[in-house]
């Protein structure tokens, strides 16, 4: 591609299996030619080499990787969703979950539209197509239609819309889901060896800025809560910011910092890795431990563990070696192997902790059945004490904004066992980071960073969605 | 399944590659549970065994096999098309092509509906969902909506609609595409060995009645042109017949007799095989030949060849042996094999024709490039003369009603070479059946059959679409 | 390829599933580079396009398609078998089954050779490599080694051996399995359109001559029983004929004529189709029937049915229409469909036989459970009588020479039901061709054909293996 | 399985792609029934669930995973290799490469054995089968045959041989490749929850002891250099130790410690992780650096980096975040992405090093083209200096003992660029660990560990193969 390209990535958290991927490109010519690829599985199995070649003529495009949250696992539900309208095709990809999807589905169906999937993407395309009436002669005012959509549904979505030679990048008024803009650096500037005709300038948009480096782009800025950004061959242009109801703060998902995002992604001007390290430091202040070594459940808890070690002064060591070849899909031919469970995934680095008291940092505890066999493993290999320190507060409430959290009943924090969680999981002691500690670790970094002059900060407020921890949802939910 | 099941099959003509297949079943319970399977390729590769098991709870269902006519070859275009409406899901499968699809697409898009595929099936579902307005409290009057659809588009379609516990089987007012009803015979009546609990009674609907025998059903009757038949656990009930414009005869596709249908299918009370045999007899009358033997291009021309032999008194022999293992998909690694072309598909049965004058019957000649190497093959193997007799008239006009006929320019009958077609293809002589001969061979059988008392014949008229032969389309086409 | 190419095909009888395919090519250069492809399934699924491209540099090669007779269905057992010897690689493919394989396996293992497969091909390569001792400096005398092999095992095999730039084509002394030589015709002689650089001259060898036409080759001659033919860029050269024991006639498998071979193949100077037609005529003489029409179980019995019709004067009609899309692999999701069995495979062409007495010709009856539902189908559709006439004698004995025949106990001709076979299968009457009738139908054609001057016929004798019909095996079997 | 099971694993180093896997089990009954599974790709794609079920009756078995070193990537070369001998089947799997394979191949081929693959496994099976002559009546003395093999080829191999109900585990006299024995712990002892009938006791053998934990086994001991261990239902029994030539020390591959092995494996009584950490400490002594932070190229260099940090007193931080989803097989549709190369694999954790002087520890540098873009990445992201410290000496010589090292010409240490390696790769400075430093880091741990009473240490000597670093091969190589 020699122009724009946007990728709206789902999360790549360890426990989530990517289930499908889709790409739509447009030539941006008049009329535009759209090319669509969709496939099941990880990106590198979902598409075949010969299919990817079909995209060569695209000058702009959007992609999507889908994880199983709601909706059946079918190719049909795979984004982007493309529909033909009176004025030509539009393609839509989104990340998130519309809180009032059910009411909106009824609305479009009452208008006489049949919905062929259970996905919010189709719902969004039909809402965009629906009103106001399309007249045959004029180009539709897509921006007005997008604004209209944003007033009908407050959250939770980041959205990419392709129409002819333009991409609209949109974040919901609460900014619940992330969306970042990057700038493609000409390859000749990346490498001294000349890049020749394959060189590219342009813009990219992504859920996570970590993906920019992989394609040779530099982080430019975030799409702001409520903002509609137009990306075309003329560059990036902020078209509008749809406001939240008076008094409501933004509500960016705090669990992006805690767990979902890759550590090298940037949100609100700060690197996720650094926030996690601060959480570890804060945890060391809130929950100090009399122990010999600090370690991590690799790999996601490592920044917090290093932060804890720095703050506490205890030495950081590795106690677990991850077996990269044990996948979710491995066939377990007998009961014995099934019973071994998580022990298959980790090897104990005995020399580093035998005879010692271990502080083991984990990023979060959801169901509690992963950490238990790890503790058992460490104790059998010679740890005299195993203190669990969790770099986030207990999860107690479901998420209705696109994150797949177990039911309230399954969450360990809501079960009787939580009373004696240390006993239940076999730990010497268990402590969590407080909600206030987490919020201060997250928001402290934003304030200390100063202002990015490219973003109007006059009205900028700081605020995060902590609903899964506190039950305070950013908008009132109708059922 | 223990109730109804309907299959709307596309054609299985030799040169058409089946490209996708789909099935939707409903439990017929309240609320109904729908199960959908779709896959690319032939039916037995499109579905996996474990997927078919998912259909076990279905009590009624519709299926579809798709051939590439229009529309890109994508799973997305695969029928049946299922949409959710205010009153629940409907599933639609159709055979044919709406002559005014373009105008109807504009109509629904003007209403604010985005169309996600290029298929007529989606268009039909959205037309059914669209008007009149859906009220929340009542069950929609699907029959009124289907009638409304039929007044908006006169032809060409046979249609199956599933809603909850009912299937509607519909044929367009011109009856251009076939649709037959069969009755499932309890297996205990088919085999003396008891059938036990797996036994089934019920109804089936199919494009071609030949499929009934494969599933142990008996031919019952055809859906009449314009008829809406309701099939439910209460049996088969004719609900309505939407009339054609005053004076218009029905227009069942005459090429179903000539080429598309399997020879053991029944249309208008007569077996296709027998009609083809009559075409061969008529051809012998119209185009007698001074020759030694009559033969066929296997396998579709065999009934006509036997008919020609019977009428002419010439002996019938086989001259070509078909190589069943040469498929469309075989990889041809070098130029040499590509050049050999059709010779790979047939072996010459030399002893039967060496030194003899051969009459070779073909069912139709479209582009003229298949018959030419066959003639060369026979001559090289020793045939002294090869007279081509074609059991249908030359195809001169495109079909806009669901049949994939080459462009006017590609049709041999419209090209200069047709002037000396025998010279062009290397035959000793070439003769075609006349349009009148074909029509009389087809319609003669209908008249002589007498009346089926189950069908009201008061207003029954006979008429066939011969548009591809004569250019006389059943309805005026708008562009 | 621009030189030699040999294909040793297994049979393509309708009921046999091809299970694997292999190709080995040699550049014929010094040193030669061999390329091997093997895959499971039919030829066109076993190999991928990109793999076939790897063969482009081969100037000679052999291929093999394997059917399940003995040996487990594994890629490992797939031919050709290639081994490295002191003097370079040899590749071996064979058709048939060594009658004394068990003793020969012991012999090579006693010499200290481990055998990695259960296939005769590996056994043959190790026997060729084994003795006499290989000296380092000289080229081994492969022809002497092949002769040695032929004295150690009398039958049943046709063999292709590749070494550097030579192919040896070998038929066992009894000639039990077929092997024919064809000559590649330059494409420029096949088509007036110039063929350019892709053109090819050369030689091909095949189990069945029918394959020659598919690749633009002409039938040249058969490899004679016991003959070793050398094929190289210098052409075809007969090197030696290993004799049978004094007094033993040749023993070409008579079932190649009856059932296995494609009808357009040539054996012993006569076309298989014509032999089958003669069998039908002979059957009409031996087993005349008072009936109205003669028909066939399509497609293999058709030549015999036409022969019966010609001899008897009864009209030939088609009564069954084959459903090409019902394959072995079709998934049968419920009991009902399994019970329908063979009825799924055939449609009844009622008009041709309703109210009539039918003579139905089949080529052979092995287990008797295919013909029974066909008879039921015809009777239910209106046939007043169904007389089965089988164009071969009952099979009563197992084959130890490469043909997969059921155990003695499974053969209908050895079971009590055979006493009243007509009653058992529901036929009005059943008659078989006599062994003498079959032999005369086969051998009559050889005698009447005269001599092929390319083959020394001084010592030519005629003889066929009828072991499965008579129990008289060509060689005494040791166990 | 309820008895013995052995796995001979190839390495799982990051840059090596596993290419095939195989398993052979034996029922251990009389006669034994062997089951073989082989497949291409990683273990969890190579085998299907239904295939693994076939192994259920096996009571002992061996497995193998193969990486591409020599030999073409074909299923045929996949181990274990099973051959039928006069006395029944033996199955062989090995890790390593016979230094005199070429001479041994000639030997068996001169005996008249054809070799069907290029793999050493087949060669070993044929050598075992070959001599002394097999007599029909007696059981062959496999131990004598294995000893005979060990005198014919001194190194490099670890070997597993299955015959009936016994597994022989063998390490070559130099002990070049590792082989460890583990004991299956009854699951009831692992988990308090009762294990029921699926419980298992028994023995396992593996190239790397890290695999024991995954299947619930405990490390027992190493097979000693030259030792033949018999494993059966009667337990583990040392049968024999074949000595090295007088004066030769053992030669265990030192690169197993440096790079190949998983850090939680145990060799010579010490954990690999700890050895690597010691290498890092030694490197800090040999090559101290004036810098701000120490970091790692994740993940293999992390133990050495932590060791360097501990010894030097510099703080350990993470500077790179690994992108787990960028695989070898990802399709790179355009030049741009190919040029980005290694940058796709790592994200920079800028906050940890911007404005700082970084010591970056790598485990080894082979070609030098991986580290270069990483240095560029760090510098562009703000590192003021990047000092590369390599925890092993430069690789200068090829390995002929099973490790795939580039040709001498490709090794960066042998190229002119090595003169100014820092300039070439863009580093501020580059230093390597010395050979002496590496050897002392490795051997220091062995001495300090004391004696394992299960192993006779009277004649125990310490020695390692450093051929790739020093050119001193354990045995003289013939060509």
pLDDT tens digits for range A206-220: 888 888 887 788 899
pLDDT tens digits for range B14-30: 333 456 677 778 888 88
pLDDT at res. B60: 80
pLDDT at res. C325: 55
Q: What is the 3-state secondary structure (H, E, C) of D238-265?
A: EEEECCCCCCCCCCEECHHHHHHCCCCC
What are the φ and ψ backbone dihedral angles of A322, each rounded to 5 degrees?
-85, 135
Give the residues across from C85 on adjacent strands. Answer: C88
Contacts of B2 in chain C (CB under 8 A): none
pLDDT tens digits for range A319-330: 999 876 544 333
How many angstroms separate the CA atoms of D265 and D263, rounded?
A: 6
Asked if A340 has any chain B CB less than 8 Å from its own CB, the reply is: no
**Is the domain C270-437 a CATH 3.90.1570.10 member?**
no
Neighbours of chain C (3+ CB pairs under 8 A): B, D
Contacts of D111 in chain C (CB under 8 A): 111-112
Determine the 3-state secondary structure of A414 from DSSP.
helix
CA angle C112, C115, C119 (to 5 degrees): 145
Give B 63-92 residues with CB within 8 A of chain A: 75-76, 81-86, 90
| DSSP 8-class letter at A169 | E
Domain A5-248: which CATH number of 1.20.1440.130, 1.10.10.10, 3.40.47.10, 3.60.20.10: 3.60.20.10
What homologous superfamily is domain B5-247 in, according to CATH?
Answer: Aminohydrolase, N-terminal nucleophile (Ntn) domain (3.60.20.10)
A contact test, residue of B101, B114, B123 with most A CBs within 10 A: B114
* Chain A residue closest in CA terms to B88: A114
Q: How many angstroms away from the CA of D7 is the closest CA of chain C?
A: 21
How many angstroms separate the CA atoms of C15 and A278, rounded?
A: 72
Asked if D49 has any chain A CB less than 8 Å from its own CB, the reply is: yes
How many angstroms separate the CA atoms of D283 and A145, rounded?
A: 64
Task: Say which of C273, C333, C336 has its CB closest to residue B351.
Answer: C273
Write out residues in chain C with pLDDT < 50, as ranges: 1-5, 9-17, 69-73, 192-199, 326-333, 449-450, 453-459
* Chain C residue closest in CA terms to D145: C112
pLDDT tens digits for range B295-309: 999 888 999 999 999
* Chain C residue closest in CA terms to B44: C330
| Residue A10 confidence class, pLDDT cut points 50, 70, 90 | very low
pLDDT tens digits for range B202-255: 888 888 888 888 778 889 999 999 999 999 888 899 999 999 998 899 999 999
pLDDT tens digits for range B177-187: 999 999 987 76
| Residue B369 confidence class, pLDDT cut points 50, 70, 90 | confident
pLDDT at res. B476: 84
pLDDT tens digits for range A262-314: 899 999 999 999 999 999 999 999 999 999 999 999 888 999 999 999 999 99
Contacts of B114 in chain A (CB under 8 A): 83-85, 90, 125-126, 128-129
Task: Say which of A48, A318, A323 has its CB closest to residue D302.
Answer: A318
How many angstroms separate the CA atoms of D373 and A190, rounded?
A: 10
- Indicate if the pLDDT at residue B406 is higher than 60: yes
Q: What percent of chain B has pLDDT over 90?
A: 47
Q: Which of residues A340 and C106 earns the better pLDDT score?
A: C106
Domain locations in chain B as residue ranges? 5-247, 270-437
Q: Please indicate whether, in this complex, the C-beta atoms of A12 and D325 are within 8 angstroms of each other.
A: yes
Question: Dihedral sign, CA of D284, D288, D294, D299?
Answer: negative
Cβ burial A127-159 (10 Å sphere, 16+ → b, else e): bbbbeeebeeeeebebbebbbbbbeebbbbbbb
Q: How many angstroms away from the CA of C199 is the closest CA of chain B?
A: 7
**Is the separation of the CB atoms in B296 and B273 below 8 Å?**
no
Task: Say which of B271, B351, B352 has its CB closest to residue C349.
Answer: B271
- Indicate if the pLDDT at residue D218 is higher than 80: yes
Contacts of C122 in chain D (CB under 8 A): 116
Same fold, D5-248 and D271-437: no
Contacts of C134 in chain D (CB under 8 A): 109-110, 112
Task: Say which of D75, D86, D118 has its CB closest to residue C109.
Answer: D86
How many angstroms separate the CA atoms of D384 and D291, rounded?
A: 10
Q: Please indicate whether, in this complex, the C-beta atoms of C335 and B263 are within 8 angstroms of each other.
A: no
Q: Which residues contact B231 (CB under 8 A, 6 or more apart)?
A: B4, B6, B60, B166, B167, B168, B169, B181, B203, B205, B237
Q: What percent of chain D has pLDDT over 70?
A: 77
Asked if B195 has any chain C CB less than 8 Å from its own CB, the reply is: yes
How many angstroms separate the CA atoms of C406 and C408, rounded?
A: 6
Q: Which residues contact B236 (CB under 8 A, 6 or more apart)?
A: B181, B203, B220, B229, B230
Q: Which of residues C454 and D19 earns the better pLDDT score?
A: D19
Domain D271-437: which CATH number of 3.40.50.1100, 3.40.50.2020, 3.40.50.1970, 3.40.47.10: 3.40.50.2020
Least confident of A131-145, A385-399, D416-430: A131-145
Q: Please indicate whether, in this complex, the C-beta atoms of B52 and C333 are within 8 angstroms of each other.
A: yes
* Structure tokens belonging to residue B294: 């009559």
pLDDT at res. A327: 42
* Chain D residue closest in CA terms to A344: D214
How many angstroms separate the CA atoms of D108 and C307, rounded?
A: 59
| C to A contact (≥3 Cβ pairs closer than 8 Å) | no
- Indicate if the pLDDT at residue B63 is higher than 90: no
pLDDT tens digits for range D394-405: 999 988 887 767
Question: Dihedral sign, CA of C182, C186, C189, C193?
Answer: positive
Contacts of D191 in chain A (CB under 8 A): 339
pLDDT at res. A68: 52
pLDDT at res. D368: 75
pLDDT at res. D3: 36
- Indicate if the pLDDT at residue D293 is higher than 70: yes
Task: Say which of B271, B344, B349 has its CB closest to residue C264.
Answer: B349
| B to D contact (≥3 Cβ pairs closer than 8 Å) | no
Extract the annotated binding site of B for Mg(2+). Answer: 300, 362-363
pLDDT tens digits for range B147-169: 999 999 999 999 999 998 899 99
- Indicate if the pLDDT at residue B32 is higher than 90: no
Q: How are strands ordered across the β-sheet holding D293-296?
A: D293-296, D357-362, D385-390, D429-432
């Amino acid at each position: 591609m020699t122009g724009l390209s946007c990728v709206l990535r789902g999360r790549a958290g360890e426990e989530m299996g990517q289930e499908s991927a889709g790409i739509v490109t447009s030539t941006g010519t008049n009329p535009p030619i759209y090319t669509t690829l969709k496939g099941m599985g990880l990106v590198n199995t979902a598409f075949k080499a010969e299919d990817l070649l079909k995209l060569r003529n695209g000058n702009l495009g959007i992609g999507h990787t889908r994880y199983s949250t709601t909706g059946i696992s079918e190719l049909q539900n795979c984004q982007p969703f493309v529909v033909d309208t009176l004025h030509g095709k539009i393609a839509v990809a989104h990340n998130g979950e519309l809180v009032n999807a059910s009411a909106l589905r009824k609305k479009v169906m009452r208008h006489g539209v049949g919905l062929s999937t259970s996905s919010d993407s189709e719902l969004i395309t039909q809402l965009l197509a629906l009103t106001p009436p399309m007249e045959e002669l004029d180009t539709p005012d897509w921006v007005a239609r997008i604004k209209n959509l944003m007033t009908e549904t407050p959250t939770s979505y980041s959205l990419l819309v392709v129409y002819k030679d333009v991409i609209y990048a949109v974040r919901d008024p609460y900014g619940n889901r992330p969306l970042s803009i990057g700038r493609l650096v000409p390859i000749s500037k990346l490498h001294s060896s000349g890049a020749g005709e394959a060189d590219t300038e342009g813009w990219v948009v992504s859920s996570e800025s970590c993906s920019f480096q992989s394609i040779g782009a530099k982080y430019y800025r975030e799409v702001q809560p409520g903002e509609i950004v137009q990306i075309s061959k003329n560059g990036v242009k902020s078209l509008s910011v749809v406001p939240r109801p008076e008094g409501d703060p933004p509500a960016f998902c705090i669990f992006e910092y805690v767990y979902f995002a890759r550590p090298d992604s940037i949100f609100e001007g700060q690197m996720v890795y650094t926030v996690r390290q601060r959480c570890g430091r804060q945890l060391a202040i809130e929950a100090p431990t009399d122990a010999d070594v600090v370690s991590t459940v690799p790999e996601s808890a490592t920044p917090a563990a290093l932060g804890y070690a720095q703050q506490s002064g205890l030495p950081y060591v590795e106690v677990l070696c991850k077996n990269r070849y044990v996948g979710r899909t491995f066939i377990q031919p007998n009961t014995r192997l099934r019973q071994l469970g998580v022990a298959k995934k980790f090897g104990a680095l005995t020399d580093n902790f035998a005879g010692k008291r271990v502080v083991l940092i984990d990023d979060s505890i959801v169901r509690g059945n992963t950490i238990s066999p790890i503790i058992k493993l460490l104790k059998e290999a010679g740890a005299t004490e195993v203190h669990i320190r969790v770099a986030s507060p207990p999860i107690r409430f479901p998420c209705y904004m696109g994150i797949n959290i177990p039911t309230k009943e399954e969450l360990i924090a809501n079960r009787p066992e939580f009373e004696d969680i240390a006993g239940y999981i076999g730990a010497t002691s268990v402590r969590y980071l407080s909600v206030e500690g987490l919020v201060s670790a997250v928001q402290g970094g934003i304030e200390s960073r100063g202002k990015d002059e490219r973003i109007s900060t006059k009205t900028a407020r700081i605020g995060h969605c902590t609903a899964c921890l506190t039950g305070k949802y950013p908008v009132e939910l109708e059922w």
